[in-house]
Amino acid sequence: MEPLTASALRGVWATVLLPLRDDESIDLDVIASALDHVLASGVQGVYTNGTAGEFHTLTEAEYDRLHALVADRCAAAGVPFQLGASHPSGQLSLDRIARAAALRPGAIQVVLPDWLPLSEEEVLAAVDRMAAVADGVPLVLYNPPYAKTQVPPELFGKLADEIPALVGAKVPGGDDAWYARMADAVGGRLAIFVAGHTLASGYARGAAGAYSNVACLSPGGAARWYAQITTDLPAALALEERLRGFLDAHIAPLGRAGYSDPALDKTLAAIGGWAPIGTRVRWPHRWVPPEVIPALRAVAEAAVPELFDDFTHPAPTSRKAGAV
Ligand SMILES: CC(=O)N[C@H]1[C@H]([C@H](O)[C@H](O)CO)O[C@](O)(C(=O)O)C[C@@H]1O
C-alpha cells in the first residue's frame, strides 16, 4: 500500500491477536477468520506484532507466516495495514524490519533495542538505522511504559527533526501538561497514538488515534466510537467515562493481580466474543480463566452497550476518512 504520512495516520487501528492451541502453537485459521471480522468492522486499519500480538514470543518462522497472511488479506480487502517489526534485540529488529518492508505495509512499528537503557544519541542512531533498513516504508516508534528507554516529548521532537521517515508515536498519552509538551516538541510532524480507551479525551487534546484496546473488545464498536469522536465529541466523552468505569472496576484489578497486558487484551476480546481467540497467552504468562468471561460480558454490555457488535447502529462511514 501507499506509505502513510503523519497527517494520513488517524483513527482506530486493531491488533492481530494470537489464538493459541493447548501446545501454544498459533492457530492461523482462527487468525484468518478473526482478521476477516476486523477487516469488515470499519476500523481505519490493522496492525501486527504489538505487545498484544505477543511479539516478544514469536519465532522468526512464526513471524514470517503470520505477516505473509496478514499482508495478503489486508491488501486483498483494501484495508490499510501496519506491520510491527519489534524485537527486544536491535539486530533482530533490523532483520524483521527488512522482511516487513518487503510486504509494503503503510508503516512499520518498531521499539528501541531493549536490554540496556539508551542515551539520546543512541536513540537517534537506533531509529536512523531502522529507517534506512525500512527502505522507504515509514516508521512508527512504539514506546510503552515498560520500555527500558523512555522517550520524552522533546526527544520525539528531535527524532522528528532528524528522521523524516518517522511518522508516528505509539505511547500511552498523559495529562494536559504532557499533551502540551508533545504539541510544542512535535507540532504535527508525528501522528500521536494513545491508549485506546482514552481516545475521545486524547483526540480533544491533539491525539490522532489509538492502537486500541477498545478494538480488542469490539472492532466494530471501536470504529463507531471513533466516528462519534469526530462528529459528536461530547457524546463520545460520555461513552469514555462509562468505558473507563468498566475498565477501572473489572479489568484493572486483573492487572493488579499480575495478569500481563496481552492477557488483558485477550480477556477483552473474549468479553466481546467476536472471534474464538481465547484468553490463553504464551509462556511464562498466566491467562484469565475463561469461566469468568460471561459475568464480565454482562457487566460490559450494561456499561457500554453501543460497543457491542450486535447493538444496531448506522454502519460506520469513516474508514477511508483518514486513510491513504
Ligand atoms: C490501552 C491500550 O490501548 N493498550 C494497547 C497498547 C497501547 O496502544 C500502547 O501500549 C501505547 O499506549 O498497545 C498494545 O499493547 C499493542 O501494542 O498491541 C495493545 C493494547 O491494547
The residue ranges of the chain whose pLDDT is under 70 are: 309-324
Atom number of ligand 1 nearest to Cα 172: 12
Residue 170 among the catalytic residues = yes
Nearest to 269, CA basis, from 307, 217, 210, 213: 217
CA dihedral 291, 296, 298, 299 (to 10 degrees): 160
Ligand 1 pocket mutation pick from 9, 51, 150, 251 by most atoms within 8 angstroms of CB? 51
- Residues 275 and 269 sit within 8 Å (Cβ to Cβ): yes
Report if residue 164 sits inside a domain.
Answer: yes
Report if residue 228 sits inside a domain.
Answer: no
Domains: count for the chain: 1
Average pLDDT, the chain: 95
Report if residue 245 sits inside a domain.
Answer: no
The single residue of 63, 170, 179, 226 carrying the catalytic annotation is: 170
Tell me, what's the pLDDT at 299?
98
Report if residue 249 sits inside a domain.
Answer: no
Nearest to 219, CA basis, from 8, 52, 84: 52
Residue 148 among the catalytic residues = no
Q: Which pTM was predicted?
A: 0.94
Contact residues of ligand 1, CB 6 A cut-off: 15, 50-53, 144, 170-172, 195-197, 210-213, 216, 261, 265
Report if residue 168 sits inside a domain.
Answer: yes
Report if residue 103 sits inside a domain.
Answer: yes
Report if residue 120 sits inside a domain.
Answer: yes
Tell me, what's the pLDDT at 313?
44
Tell me, what's the pLDDT at 309?
66
Question: What is the Å distance from ligand 1's center to 26 Cα?
Answer: 21
Question: What is the Å distance from ligand 1's center to 196 Cα?
Answer: 7
Range of the structural domain that residue 158 is part of: 11-218
SS3 111: coil
Report if residue 111 sits inside a domain.
Answer: yes
Tell me, what's the pLDDT at 316?
45
Question: What is the Å distance from ligand 1's center to 126 Cα?
Answer: 22
Burial class (CB within 10 angstroms; exposed 0-12, middle 13-18, buried 19+) of 258: exposed
Atom number of ligand 1 nearest to Cα 49: 18
H helices present in the chain, as ranges = 28-39, 60-77, 90-102, 120-133, 153-162, 176-186, 199-204, 213-217, 219-231, 233-246, 252-256, 261-272, 293-303
As for the ipTM of the complex, it is 0.99
CATH at residue 90:
3.20.20.70
What are the counts of helices (DSSP H) followed by strands (DSSP E) for the chain? 13, 8
Cell 505487545 belongs to which residue? Answer: 51
